[in-house]
Amino acid sequence: MEHPRVLVVDDDASVRESLRMVLKGRAHVTAVADGTAALKELTNGSFHVALLDLVMPGMDGLELLERGQALDDPPQFIMLTATKTVKTAVRAMKLGAFDYITKPFDVDELQVVVDRAAESGAMQRELETLRTEVGQRYDFANVIGSSQAMQKVLKIVKRVAPLRSTVLLTGESGTGKEVIARAIHYNSPRRDQPLVALNCAAIPQNLLEAELFGHERGAFTDAHARKIGHFERAHGGTIFLDEIGDMPPSTQATLLRILERGEFTRVGGEEVIEVDVRVVAATNRDLDKSMEDGSFRSDLYFRLNVVALPLPPLRERREDLPLLIRHFLEKKSREAGLPLRNFTQAALDRMLAYRWPGNVRELENAIERALALSDRDALDIDDLPTKVVAAPDLAASPLTLPVGNEGTSAGSQAHSMSDQVDALERQLIVTALHRADYNQTRAAEDLGTTRRILKYKMDKLGIDETPGSESQFSSGA
């Protein structure tokens, strides 16, 4: 990283000058003589590291540390202390200081500690940025689905996300259970704590318990060292257990103990470990049948099934297809570094008529395949998987969306697809406004979005804020 900005706070001018010389060429140093001046610098500027003398007249180092930690973007604090006040320095560490250095300080040690503090702060800021980006990605407004079926799901998710209730997601493979699980976590008070995910079907049954709960050294043949399990890693946060219907009965018993008591022991260990973890589980199995045949414990089922949330298959939310197609075209083009292309109207009609038994995952894979293999300006029927092209149409009537003329250029096809998506969004918004008597706040809640986003969409689609805008959709505008 570039040279860090370092604040030196010491009432001794010789110490301030010594630190300035030691850090010359490796840091940008600002030096002040007391806590009041330091707090002003910290409030008005941005520093990576702050070196604080513990004993100063007026505001001492501990008070400055506490007040500095309360700032929006605090630096890493290093305490400067005489040998006789080391105990006080240790107390400062408990208050959040990065490290402490005793006077007279060793130059090499000081430089190393400052470098480590700057690197640690940079890593923390990067982690916070990544958490923010991931949280934004799983914001409710970014979950694709304007259909009534998906809005019903999102309505429940919004209610349970702030709670600590266990959630059981059910539905066919590929319906987006992990996306919903992540939305629950990143819209909960636990968003800044770990989200740990594990697919129970992907781990051999004899190793699953050790993966979940950890093991002690020597617990089994290959246990050469202690291993921390997923539940310990998720402490304070959320654990997502996918395909929980595949969990063996012996592991189910340990999971039940965690749900009941919040404690467990590692495999081969005796220490009782307490954890605070929210559990979100998912399965594509019929757990009622699994309970009947004895492969799934009924007491565990009822512990997991506090909030049951079935996710609809794609064939039951066909209104979302145009939105999902556009989303995956943009996403996969961006990831592959390819120019944005669109489907011809014939290909789009074929995709709208297909049942998508693999649900959203199958749709995503089909679009990625078409983008990777086709060199056409506009993706056509031949670029779709054979089973999509050859499958019979859905028995239900096709989607009543306006279509553009079937031109041959990519631009005309993009206009046609955009028209369909805009028309669908317009219909959903107008319907919600009508139900809410044109109260935009209530309409936004009905649509599972915010009033700001709703207003943006209304302006973009030319929807009036007063009754009478229904004609815009019926006219095919």
Residue-wise pLDDT for 362-389, tens only, equals 999 999 999 999 999 999 999 999 999 9
Residue 392: the pLDDT is 76
Domains of the chain in sequence order: 5-134 (3.40.50.2300), 162-312 (3.40.50.300), 317-474 (1.10.8.60)
pLDDT of 130 reads 66
pLDDT of res. 447 = 74
pLDDT score of 220: 80
Residues of the chain short of pLDDT 50, as ranges, are 395-415, 468-477
Residues 188-205: tens digit of each pLDDT: 999 989 999 999 999 998
HEC profile for the chain? CCCCEEEEECCCHHHHHHHHHHCCCCCEEEEECCHHHHHHHHHHCCCCEEEEECCCCCCCHHHHHHHHHCCCCCCEEEEEEEHHHHHHHHHHHHCCCCEEEEECCCHHHHHHHHHHHHHHHHHHHHHHHHHHHHHHHCCHHHCCCCCHHHHHHHHHHHHHCCCCCCEEEECCCCCCHHHHHHHHHHCCCCCCCCEEEEEHHHCCHHHHHHHHHCECCCCCCCCCCCECCHHHHCCCCEEEEECHHHCCHHHHHHHHHHHHHCEECCECCCCCEECCCEEEEEECCCHHHHHHCCCCCHHHHHHHCCEEEECCCHHHCHHHHHHHHHHHHHHHHHHHCCCCCEECHHHHHHHHHCCCCCHHHHHHHHHHHHHHHCCCCEECHHHCCHHHHHCCCCCCCCCCCCCCCCCCCHHHHHHHHHHHHHHHHHHHHHHHHHHCCCCHHHHHHHHCCCHHHHHHHHHHHCCCCCCCCHHHHHCCC
- How do residues 409-461 score in pLDDT, each as one tens digit? 444 444 455 566 667 677 778 878 878 878 888 888 777 677 777 887 888 78
Decide if 70 contacts 101 (C-beta within 8 A).
no
pLDDT for 307 equals 95
At 77 the pLDDT is 95
